[in-house]
Structure 1
Amino acid sequence: MVEQISILHPRDTAYFDEDTLNALSRDLGSSVAENILCRALEDMAERFLQIRDDYGDGNLLGLRKSVHALIPIAEQIGLLGLARVGRDVLICIDQGDAVAIAATLCRMLRCGEMAISCAEIGMDLSL
């Protein structure tokens, strides 16, 4: 039996929800909002390292905990797509589907790392 292999070229994008960012700035002031955004992005970067380690070690309990902790951080700074994909990763972990875990986890990491990289160079990622 011959199987055909498809090669995928992911084109994920990461967007900050403008309403969330505006609400942070309006409620807390632009200086505090910027500080929160920077700290959240740093926290996310550290969590991505932990997530990669947990996945590489086969530590699904630790992976679930790390992804679960990432979701509210992403929501706080308006990365709603990243939070949604994070919830998808949790579903895959709970279902024990190794292929789906790998695929959704890669998507989550691509989206998150893209947001961090673009924020570092000052790109506007709002909708």
Structure 2
Amino acid sequence: MVEQISVLHPRDAAYFDEEALSALSRDLGPSVAENILCRALEDIALRLTQIREDYGEGDQRALRKGVRSLVPIVEQIGLSGIAAIARDVLICVDRGEGVALAATLCRLLRSGEMAISCAEVGVDLSL
């Protein structure tokens, strides 16, 4: 039996929720909001690195903990799409679905890195 392999071309995009960013700026002031955004992006980068390592080591418990801790950070700065993907990763971990976990985790890492890249190159984040 010959199986056909499909090649997927992901087209994910990381979108910052303008309302969440505006609320941060409005509630805390532009300077504080920008500081929070920068620190959150640094924290996200560190967590994504650790999540990748935990997955590579097969440490499901640490992987779950790292992904779960990522959710409030990305939600705070308006990355609700990434929060949704992180929740999907948690479902895969909890169900022990290895193939789905690999695919969903790749999507999480790709989306998180895209959000960080957008901020690094100076894309207007509507603060």
Normalization by structure 1: what TM-score?
Answer: 0.97
In 2, Cα distance between equivalents of 1:122 and 1:66: 27
- What does 1:59-74 align with in structure 2 at a 5 Å threshold? 59-74=59-74
Q: 4+ residue stretches of structure 1 with deviation over 3 A? A: none
Encode CA deviations 1:92-121: one digit per residue, 9 max, x unaligned.
Answer: 000000000000000000000000011011
1:1-127, aligned counterparts within 5 Å? 1-124=1-124
CA contact (8 A) 1:21 1:77 kept: yes
In the alignment, structure 1 segments of 5+ residues that lack a partner are none
- The Cα RMSD (Å) is 0.8
Contact between 2:47 and 2:70, CA under 8 Å: does it hold in 1? yes
The 2-side partners of 1:50 and 1:35 are apart by 23
Q: Deviations over 1:61-91 (max 9, x none)?
A: 0000000000000000000000000000000
Cα deviation for residue 125 of structure 1 reads 5.2
Paired residues of 1:15 and 1:125 also in contact (CA < 8 A): no
Return the alpha-carbon distance in structure 1 between the equivalents of residues 9 and 98 of structure 2.
21
Distance 2:79 2:36 in 1: 13
Q: Which runs of 5+ in 2 are unaligned?
A: none
Contact 2:21 2:125 in 1 (8 A): no
- For residues 82 and 122 of structure 1, the distance between their equivalents in structure 2, rounded to whole angstroms, comes to 20
Rounded Cα–Cα distance in structure 2 between residues aligned with 1:27 and 1:61: 36
Question: Aligned partners of 2:125, 2:99: CA distance in 1, in Å?
Answer: 30
Matched residues, number: 126
